Structures are given as C-alpha cells and as structure tokens.
Amino acid sequence: MLLLKILYAFLVVGILGGVLGAALVVASKFFSVSKDERIQQVEDALPGANCGSCGYAGCAAYAEAIAAGEAPLTLCGPGGAEAASKIAEIMGQEVEVSDRKMVAQVHCRGTKETTSYLYAYRGLKDCNAVHALFQGDKECKYGCLGLGSCMKVCPVDAISYDSGGRVVVDKDACISCGNCIEACPTGVMQFVPYEADYIVACNSKDKGAAVRKYCSVGCIGCKICEKKSPEGGFKVENFLSSIDYDKMGDRSEAAKGCPPKCIVRVDSLIKGVDEKA
Amino acid sequence: MWKEFTKGLFRENPIFVIVLGLCPTLGVSSRVINALGMGAGVIFVLLCSNIFISLLKNFIPNQVRIPSYIVIIASFVTVVQMVMQAFLPDLYDSLGVFVPLIVVNCIILGRAEAFASKNGVGASILDALGMGIGFTLALTVISLVREVFGSGTITLFAFGDFDGVVRIPGIVDSPARVFVLAAGALLVMGYLKALVGIIQEKGGKG
Amino acid sequence: MSYLGIIITFVFINNFILTQFLGLCPFIGVSKNLESAVGMGFAVTFVMALASFATWAIYHLILVPLNIEFLQTITFILVIASLVQFVEMVIQKISPPLYKALGIFLPLITTNCAVMGIALIAVQNKYNALESFVAGIAAGLGFLLAIVLMSTIREKLDNEWIPKPFRGVPIAFITGGLMALAFMAFDKALLNNLLG
C-alpha cells in the first residue's frame, strides 16, 4: 500500500512536470517573439539606471530604438563616452564623444537663517508647487526653494540635505542624467565638470544692493573674484559671477576674498561644512 | 564565515531590512506561539533547501533552475506540513493556510537564488540559519507587541500544569483588540519598520 | 455558497490583502503608481482565475482518486509556476508595452501568496469547479481593488510632508492598516443583508 503511494507520487509529479514542461516548450515556439540580438548587446553596454534622461522609457527601450536605427547613439548621459563608444562598436558606426563628466550641483547656499522669506508656505512639499506662488516663498527669486523636487527625480539618490538644511548633490554618486536640472524651477541646479574645485554658489541676477538686503551669502557682483584670481576664469555678468572651467588657474584667492563667501569648495559641500577660506 | 550567519540577524534581517516574506509575518504574528512555530518551520525548510540546492547547483541546468528550486522547496514544505499535522495539530490548525504557503515565502526562494546557487554547502548552511533565525526573531518581536497589546497574553508552549498562556494583569481584561486583527498587524509593522529605520540611521552615523 | 456570496466574500469581507494578508509583497512593492498597479492587478486576477480552476482539476481528478492528497503543495506550485510562465509568454506576444511595464513583477506572481492561497482555500472550502473559478476571479478582483486604492493614495503621499523614518515602506504599511480598518466594515452581516 505504501509502496503504491510512493509509486503514484513519483509518477504524478514526474508526468505533471513533463507535461507542463512540454506544453511550455510548445507554447514558447507558438508565442515566440523574434528579437534582434544586438538589442541585448546594446542594453548590456548601457548603465542600466533606467533614469529616462535619453527620453526613452528605460535602458531597454533606448536599446531597442538604437537597434532599430531610430535613435542617436549619444543620448545616454550616465553612460557617457564609454557607453557611446561601446554602442558604436556594436552597431558598426562611428561616434564623436567628449570625455568630460559633468555633475549637477546646487548653486545656492541660502538657509532660513541667512535669507529672507516673503511668506510662510504650508502646501505640497514640491518646489514647482511653491514656485507657482509668486516664484517661491523666498525673497530671492533665483534661489533654491529647498523642498526636494530634485531629490524625488534623482534615480540614484545622490541629492540630500546637509546639516544646515541646504540641498546638496554628492558628485561621486551623480550619474549626469539631468533629471534634477529639469525638475528645478529656479535654475539653481546646474552641471559643472566633475573635476571642478570651486563653484559660485549663487544664481541671483539682482543688483548687489538688492541681494545684500535679502541674502547674506549671495553674490553681489563686486568683481573681487575677477581681480583676485585673474586666471581662474571668473566673469561677472548681470551682477552674478560665474566660472569658465576651461581656465585652469588658481581660484582659492577669489574664494578667500569674496565678501559674502559664496565661492565654495565643491568637496566641502557634501559634508555640510562652510569652507572658512 | 561567521558573518554569513550574523548578517541575517540584524543587518540584512529578511523582514525588517530586506522586507521579504511579509505574508506569513503578518498572518501568523497574532500569537507568540504561532510565530515560534512558523519560525521553526521556515528555518527547517530554509536549511534543507539551501543545503540541497547548494549540493545540486552544478547539476541543475540554468533554464530550469527556478522551477527546480521550487520543487525542492515544496518537497520540504510538505514534510513540515506532515510533521506538524502529526505532532502539533493545534499549531497546525492555528497556522492554517500559512504552512503550505511557506513554499512561496520569498525569503526561501530568494536565498536559494541569491546565495545557495552560488556558494558552498557550509556557507549556505550558515546563511540559512542566520536568515531563518533573523526571520524568527523579527516575527517574535512583532507577535509580542501584537499579542501583549491585543489580547493581554503571551502564548507559549504548554507543559505540565501550565497551559502555555501568560496573562498580563491589567491588559488582559481590556486589551486593544485591533492589534490582533489585520489592521493592527499592518499598523504595527509600519511603526516597527520606521523604528528600525531610525536605529539604522543612528547606527550609520555613530 | 451562492456565486454572488463567493464574490462578495472574496472581494470585500475576506479581501485577500486587507483581511487575509495574502499578496502583501506586490501590494507594498508595485503600488507606487496607478498604471503598474492596474497592470499587476489584472495579471494576478488572470493567473488566479486559471490557477484555481487548474488546481481544482488536479486535486479532484488526480490526487483524490489516487489517495495522494499530500502532493497538493508540490503539484499546485508546479501548475502555478507553469501558468505564470505561460502568461508571461502570452503578454510578451500580445502587448509588449504591458510586458515592459510589469517587468520583473510578472515572474514574481509565482511567489505571490495570493495565487497559491486561493488554490488552497478553494480546496479547503470544498468548492466545485465553477465555484473555484469564480472564487479565483473574485479574489483577484479584491486584490486589484486594494492595490489600485493603495496606489492612488501613495501617489498623493509622495507630495506630502512625511517624517524621514516613515518615508517609503513604513507609511505604506500604516496606510494599508488604515485601509484594513475601513474594510472591517465589510463583515458577515453584509453578506446576510445582501443575500437575505
């Protein structure tokens, strides 16, 4: 009796497995979808972050578009030059790539203590939402609104608050997809080269006197940076200093001499420490 | 080597950190004894399946590996079912449908796929024990909270004159019944998971 | 039990997610936005309906006559795994966008407690073939209802001020708990009132 049960058990499971397996094999032939094998190769060459900055719904979709000849090969920001050249090899084409990795950084150091606000905001926790109300609750209409719309769209969680409550981007984690730059309503989120040592952490194009009134760490357009570090690539336009990173000169003198201390070291940003230049 | 064992206890605790195997966690944690029984079952299945899969990993073709793992796991679950039905019928009745559901417990298939199929038998044993005990610990914590607040008791094994139920004075007369219901389980899980998050951050900083 | 009774029971009174704890992993994992929740819900319903029928057949036509009911767990999971594989193939052929949208979660339906759960419960409750089929559909619809409701709530929660330790999984659980509390309103009395 027991032996019979064991026999039945073996038979039933074995036959069931066999029948189901055979059925699946038949079905797979019936429902087969022919795939260009280059699609998988291209997909493997992409970083797989599925960030969407290429404009396609994920790396698989972009790979398909490339294989179908519908998409340019250089749309992948995170993949950069490396991915583009690999894909070019797979597709048997040539590409022109620039090798400079760009990372996003927040060009604003304002906090509740150093900047003035026009109203108290108690709405949706979204920068674009508060921006719809008089371009934000800060008096400075160019500054970081701090509600984290950039954090929500970052596929690798590279953006966070530092100890002072400012929004900072970890440049080592940034994959250059550009989602945060699109999400930012005031334009404080901008690309800088990965090797950039300093940034001008301000985005305000208001006159110096006006900036002084509403923010103690904003750029007043005094041009001291241009004078102190003439080879550093500083240029003041519209009362705002910016850095031309093709110039490789020293920038530390400008940082030391900047009155509102808005020229900051990128490396110190992620630790939440204000560089005492 | 020892790390393979300890990681399952806290740092990669399957319930609180990896968040797998949720169904039995919430389903059986209304009494402590259920949690312990389920934990024991899961440890057994996890251990046996990890050992077997680790031994057979070089013989199972890649295309059929998931179905094979499932059949191996299902066989051991059937063993647990039969043993529990024979020797612990009350426990079997309380756990109900969750005993056969051990076969679809993501933790077991997850460890088989992620670990046992790539590592030796020794490491797989430690991994299984760590994950299983971690699972049981987490399950016990949840059920302690739920049973104490929800029925005012702690139900353990009965032996001798002791019927196994520890009654907590004060609560046992008017407990907050919601805790032993579905809603309470989900709420407790949410708060505990938030607590774990806070502990993790403190641990990360300190 | 009448068919209407079965439907009401599995969609509302014994809702798989909010009352029975079956199908929690995708409930927490796939409910971030409405489209994937709907896709997942329908895929699971489809699999559950077919699975409950197929497992009824296996149990009553093979296991019981040969007196090997103990093989229930193994054979059921084999059938379910094959069914999910089959559904994956069909979806890939018929609707590649849906296939892409569901992604990894489609094969994960195999380990979804809800599918195995309905198969086991249908056998436990001694349903006949049609009752099992209807129960499968109803349970799937209950799952769909819960996961769709959850996804709409979570989409709104994304824009709210939530304390850091609670973001993500914890607040999802608490939301689920509140939904379960609400669903407690559906109990046996509802069944009696509706069916007399």
Q: Which residues of C touch A5 (CB under 8 A)?
A: 67-68
Residue-range domain boundaries for chain B: 1-145
Whether A141 and A248 map to the same domain: the answer is yes
Question: What is the number of alpha carbons within 13 Å of residue C141 lying toward its C-beta?
Answer: 14
Q: Could you give phi then psi for residue A161, rounded to 5 degrees? A: -95, 140
Shortest Cα–Cα distance, A148 to chain C (Å): 10
- DSSP annotation of C108: G
**pLDDT (tens digit per residue) in B152-185:** 888 887 666 667 777 777 777 778 888 888 888 8
Scanning every residue of chain C, which has its alpha carbon at the shortest distance from the alpha carbon of A160?
Answer: C164
What integer pLDDT is reported at residue A276 of this predicted model?
A: 42
What integer pLDDT is reported at residue A277 of this predicted model?
A: 35
Name the residue facing C75 among A13, A23, A32 (closest C-beta). Answer: A13
Q: Do C160 and A23 touch (CB under 8 A)?
A: no
A158's tokens: 């590279």
Rounded-to-integer distance, Cα A84 and Cα A256, Å = 40
For residue A198, is it within any domain?
yes
Q: Which residues of C touch A12 (CB under 8 A)?
A: 62-63, 66, 68, 71, 75
Name the residue facing B182 among C71, C115, C180 (closest C-beta). Answer: C180
Residue A193, domain extent: 102-268
Q: Which residues of B touch C186 (CB under 8 A)?
A: none
Whether A174 and A200 map to the same domain: the answer is yes
Report the sign of the C-alpha dihedral through residues A246, A248, A249, A250, in that order: positive
For residue C79, is it within any domain?
yes
Look-up: residue for tokens 């032993």? B180
Residues linked to residue A216 through DSSP beta bridges, in sequence order: none
Whether A118 and A246 map to the same domain: the answer is yes
A184 annotated as a binding-site residue = yes
- Whether the CB of B197 is below 8 Å from some CB of chain C: the reply is yes
Residue B13, pLDDT > 70, answer yes
Whether A166 and A68 map to the same domain: the answer is no
**Among the listed ranges A13-17, C147-151, C158-162, C176-180, which one has the minimum average pLDDT value?**
C158-162
Q: Which of A19, A66, A26, A29 is nearest to A44 (CA)?
A: A66
Contact B190, C173 (CB under 8 A): yes
For residue C190, is it within any domain?
no
**pLDDT (tens digit per residue) in C104-122:** 677 778 778 889 888 888 8
Whether A74 and A185 map to the same domain: the answer is no
A140 annotated as a binding-site residue = yes
If residue A265 lies in a helix (H) or strand (E), which one and from where to where? strand A263-265
- Whether the CB of A17 is below 8 Å from some CB of chain B: the reply is yes
**pLDDT (tens digit per residue) in B31-43:** 888 888 899 999 9
Shortest Cα–Cα distance, C122 to chain B (Å): 11
Residue C125, domain extent: 9-185
Q: Mean of the pLDDT values across residues A100-125?
A: 89
A225 annotated as a binding-site residue = no
**pLDDT (tens digit per residue) in A255-265:** 999 999 999 98
Q: Which residues of B touch C19 (CB under 8 A)?
A: 182
**What do you get for the CA distance between the two ends of chain B, in Å?**
25
For residue A181, is it within any domain?
yes
Q: Which residues of A touch B67 (CB under 8 A)?
A: 17
What is residue A276's three-state secondary structure?
coil
C27 CB burial (10 A radius; 0-12, 13-18, 19+): buried
A51 annotated as a binding-site residue = yes
How crowded is residue B160: how many other Cβ atoms within 10 Å of its Cβ? 5
- DSSP annotation of B168: P
For residue C4, is it within any domain?
no
Domain count, chain C: 1
Q: Mean of the pLDDT values across residues C23-38?
A: 80
The percent of residues in chain B predicted with pLDDT above 70, rounded, is: 95
What integer pLDDT is reported at residue A267 of this predicted model?
A: 83
Q: Mean of the pLDDT values across residues C155-182?
A: 86
Name the pTM for this structure: 0.72
Look-up: residue for tokens 């790390």? B3
The ipTM is 0.81
Whether A154 and A226 map to the same domain: the answer is yes
Scanning every residue of chain B, which has its alpha carbon at the shortest distance from the alpha carbon of C182?
Answer: B183
Contact C36, C106 (CB under 8 A): no
Q: Do A16 and C92 touch (CB under 8 A)?
A: no
A93 CB burial (10 A radius; 0-12, 13-18, 19+): exposed
For residue C2, is it within any domain?
no
The domain that contains A189 carries what CATH number? 3.30.70.20
- DSSP annotation of A243: E
- Whether the CB of B186 is below 8 Å from some CB of chain C: the reply is yes
**pLDDT (tens digit per residue) in A42-80:** 888 888 777 777 777 778 788 888 888 788 777 777 777
Domain count, chain A: 2
A258 annotated as a binding-site residue = no
- Whether the CB of B68 is below 8 Å from some CB of chain C: the reply is no
A174 annotated as a binding-site residue = yes
Whether A56 and A190 map to the same domain: the answer is no
Radius of gyration (C-alpha) of chain C in whole angstroms = 17
Residues linked to residue A104 through DSSP beta bridges, in sequence order: A191
Residue B206, pLDDT > 50, answer no
For residue A12, is it within any domain?
no
Q: Mean of the pLDDT values across residues A126-150?
A: 92
A49's tokens: 């972050």
Whether A158 and A242 map to the same domain: the answer is yes
Whether A127 and A199 map to the same domain: the answer is yes
Look-up: residue for tokens 């090899």? A89
If residue C88 lies in a helix (H) or strand (E), which one and from where to where? helix C72-94
Q: Which residues of B touch A17 (CB under 8 A)?
A: 67, 71
Shortest Cα–Cα distance, A68 to chain B (Å): 28
Q: Do A9 and C93 touch (CB under 8 A)?
A: no
Whether A217 and A159 map to the same domain: the answer is yes
For residue C193, is it within any domain?
no
Q: Do A12 and C82 touch (CB under 8 A)?
A: no
For residue A127, is it within any domain?
yes
For residue C196, is it within any domain?
no
Single out the residue in A72, A91, A110 at which a domain terminates: A91
Whether A120 and A56 map to the same domain: the answer is no
Rounded-to-integer distance, Cα C113 and Cα A191, Å = 46
Q: Mean of the pLDDT values across residues B105-114?
A: 82
A180 annotated as a binding-site residue = yes
Residue C127, pLDDT > 70, answer yes
**Among the listed ranges A167-171, B90-94, C26-30, which one has the minimum average pLDDT value?**
C26-30
Rounded-to-integer distance, Cα A209 and Cα A74, Å = 44
Whether A141 and A215 map to the same domain: the answer is yes
For residue C191, is it within any domain?
no
Cα A141 to Cα A110, A125, A258, B30, C78: the distances in Å are 12, 18, 22, 55, 62
Report the sign of the C-alpha dihedral through residues A62, A63, A67, A73, in that order: positive
Scanning every residue of chain A, which has its alpha carbon at the shortest distance from the alpha carbon of C69?
Answer: A9
What integer pLDDT is reported at residue A271 of this predicted model?
A: 65
User: Exposed e or buried b for every residue in A242-268, given b needs 16+ CB within 10 A?
Assistant: bbebeeeeebbbbbebbebbbbbbbee
Ordered DSSP codes for B10-75 = TTT-TTTTS---HHHHHHHTTSHHHHHHHHHHHHHHHHHHHHHHHHHTTTS-GGGHHHHHHHHHHH
Rounded-to-integer distance, Cα A61 and Cα A213, Å = 50
The percent of residues in chain A predicted with pLDDT above 90, rounded, is: 31
